[in-house]
Structure 1
């Protein structure tokens, strides 16, 4: 008995020593950051508008790992790719969680929107299901839909070029709706489309740090909606029924059509067939699960692609030399007598470089989605406490002059060397669309959508700046109307387009069934 106690004591001692070595000491210093005051911490310093720019200015003072304490929140901002890769990639097992905000809980998005769900078995099941449709080896199946959507887009621009931005919005949203639900939407005023756009916009707005005071004083969540200052409650009460309708209506329409044998080919029909064929599952729970995956596929895919395409049009209007160079490549490789197809991809190197530069130059989400560390961690001799929200400053990383000289200049040539893509230059696609286990699972679909649309646009159109009332060109880096919430959102595009005269017959001759 004494020997057993001795062995047990020895083993416990070893485990204790190992645990102590693996657990950062709370005596370690926190990362530096703006001045903290009693109770409110650094709340007075937290920016509401364009926070990525303020965060970057802080990095010049405190370094690339900045600590911010506000009521009920610990935040670390990472301002360099080195810090992001060290934590989100090399330590992904503890940096892949999501912070759960009061607004997310009230809006219930932490139940259905899997990009915002914590790192858990539920998240993994959502991600696995989504990945089977949008991984790198599957997205080629959607090329006919993407090509046809792009052709319809060209015809719409030909008929009404002054409505360019509306055509862009309709292009990406209708394309993903066709793939996900086999829905044919031809008008931005479609009731479902308006509902979806409003829902996505409100969720994004609520994610902006400091947008609602309830995040700093969670006890306010118990206020009735009629009390002054409870605008967040009214915001949620307006949104939640719309989000339920957004998720329910297309799903149950496909389910009804599937039962009647009239459902078309879609992601929804495939998942419903799988659900109906499996007798060993809780069907109500799986149905809820399936409904949510489909809703995220629409909301996330259309929003990111739309924003990136808007960024592209702004860039082309401001850099006519880039536009001309791309058109020469297209004329040489595709030829003036036909439209680009996906078969032209490998040879259109400059178009590929334009896609990369578009994602870098005006990133669709300057701060991405925040991560959360699940236990105390030591980094460079500093303590990052368990539960800290960790934010990657994607804007700063993509405008780092060491990686991208003259970072505010749109220059696709930075990605080309000896006629091929230069793999020694850091790929913006691996930054703009997330990191580690939380990287965007729809990135390959986004990339292929951008390719066919950008190639077809440059092959058939000329893009010009739309001068403002002061006679000056639009500057996306000084305008206050580029970003809404935490993503690129343009209500109007500051550019105009004309169809290249010899390309009009190509567009007119497209047969759209």
Structure 2
């Protein structure tokens, strides 16, 4: 019904937009960047693969070059397949490439409070500034004790119940951010985690390619929910209360504890005190505080769990990607397939940390190989191979080509991080590629330059994520052996499995962790005494 309602208007809109685009392009006096020829009216709409599009874009770049233009009805798309193109546009010209494509369902379902999907506006700048205040590099040092506590809790859970390893990882990073943000203690059966799960179930369908025609024709958002075919409106009405609670419930708990004089230090309590100045919070300040704290956990969960992509128009509007849980899984896969990596890492840990204690952040500078494993885990299997899209806010020229205002710009991170010139034999898990003369090699392209976004839209939570990944790897390898007996590097096809649409999704592999020794097992058990 929705298709029947929208199709005539869509056809007319496509014809009009195509004509306007031709007129504007003719006036530019410059050609558009090269790309597949496409079809009349619908352009490249049918050319876009729905399975592993990053791989297809990489192949196309061999024909058309590293800057690839796709003519999609209602939305021009530019795919950047090289590090140079990404840095030239999204970094060096970030003042005009920092907007986000709008997603109508965000407005309808009540997710517009998440600043990572906001346009490049003053409201976004205010939210970004406040978030950065709590998550910049120097501030993360204050959270090291919490990261250590949660990593060691993970070790104990993994040793006690190795069959639930994936759940233990998810709980570890959820607990870390909730403790930092709200001083909230949770377990796997927490009501709040259940609430977030239900809210994400409502968000997820809004990201399915082509699921809602309102993304093609935004005026449909004004259609009443009772109209036949307006399923999108009814779906939004069901999800909106859950998403509001996902943002507000934990924040309201902090407010209640503060009123009772029982609140401990957290980002939420500090925000309330700082913005109120000891008085009652203004409405706009409370809204800002709710948004900032909600983004810290729920917003990052959204980005980890779903893809904000209407594939047919390629309007990606993700929260900057939290790679922590995924990178931890990639690390487990890497050391399972390449046991020599585990041996080298454990030799370094034995030398630097020794047998009588667990690693901590004071060991960071001396654990060069662990740092390299973290970098390789992030590079090797990136969860969002097409990164986070940007939108151009004015006409631009690049390499003699015209790029029209409103173009959605997609960085093909898979191509960049698997470029054999920068990373020889890129499908191998090889931390040694980052090391030279016993130190990290500054001449090797750092994957963190790309994984966490670009320019003014770079992920403000990247330092917390990087610290958590490092400590997880160090803690696991110092005390445990990783086993996945059904895997070997010859039999597993890393391209064919673990992919879902445009999301890299590591398969559920039966990893097991066992204590390296009785002494290591005792270290894990004793860590509970100091939590």
TM-score between both structures, scaled by the size of structure 1 = 0.89
Change (3 A) 1:185 1:462: same
Runs (4 or more) in structure 1 with deviation over 6 Å come to none
Question: Is contact 1:24–1:376 with CA below 8 Å preserved after alignment?
Answer: no
Question: Is contact 2:32–2:401 with CA below 8 Å preserved after alignment?
Answer: yes
Question: Is contact 2:100–2:119 with CA below 8 Å preserved after alignment?
Answer: yes
Q: In the TM superposition, what is the alpha-carbon distance from 1:218 to its structure 2 partner?
A: 3.8
Report SS of the residue matched to 2:410.
Answer: strand
Distance 1:475 1:242 in 2: 39
Deviations 1:332-361 (A, max 9, x none): 111122111111100000000001111100
Change (3 A) 1:392 1:199: farther
Distance 1:367 1:198 in 2: 26
Distance 2:507 2:286 in 1: 36
Bigger mean CA offset, 495-504 vs 369-378: 495-504
Give the number of equivalent residue pairs: 485
Report SS of the residue matched to 1:44.
Answer: coil
Distance 2:389 2:187 in 1: 35
**Which position in structure 2 is the counterpart of 1:108?**
110
1:8-157 matches, cutoff 5 A = 26-109=28-111, 111-157=112-158
Distance 2:507 2:211 in 1: 20
Change (3 A) 1:261 1:427: same
Distance 1:56 1:150 in 2: 37
Bigger mean CA offset, 50-59 vs 442-451: 50-59
**Which position in structure 1 is the counterpart of 2:525?**
508
**Which position in structure 2 is the counterpart of 1:298?**
297
Distance 2:131 2:419 in 1: 33
Change (3 A) 1:94 1:25: farther
**Which position in structure 2 is the counterpart of 1:242?**
242
Question: Is contact 1:66–1:77 with CA below 8 Å preserved after alignment?
Answer: yes
Deviations 1:163-206 (A, max 9, x none): 1001001000011000000000022x222112224445664664
Question: Is contact 1:318–1:464 with CA below 8 Å preserved after alignment?
Answer: no
**Which position in structure 1 is the counterpart of 2:495?**
477
Distance 1:38 1:190 in 2: 53
**Which position in structure 1 is the counterpart of 2:397?**
378
Q: List gaps (5 residues or longer) in structure 2.
A: 1-24, 305-321
Question: Is contact 1:372–1:387 with CA below 8 Å preserved after alignment?
Answer: yes
Distance 2:336 2:489 in 1: 15
Q: In the TM superposition, what is the alpha-carbon distance from 1:278 to its structure 2 partner?
A: 6.5
Report SS of the residue matched to 1:365.
Answer: coil
Q: In the TM superposition, what is the alpha-carbon distance from 1:50 to its structure 2 partner?
A: 2.3
Deviations 1:238-276 (A, max 9, x none): 322211010010111111111221111100000011122
**Which position in structure 2 is the counterpart of 1:367?**
386
Q: In the TM superposition, what is the alpha-carbon distance from 1:217 to its structure 2 partner?
A: 4.1
Partner of residue 417 from structure 2, selected from 394, 398, 401: 398
Matched, 1:193 2:193: yes
Change (3 A) 1:209 1:61: farther
Change (3 A) 1:185 1:107: same
Q: In the TM superposition, what is the alpha-carbon distance from 1:282 to its structure 2 partner?
A: 7.5
Matched, 1:273 2:291: no
Report SS of the residue matched to 2:69.
Answer: strand
Matched, 1:348 2:364: no
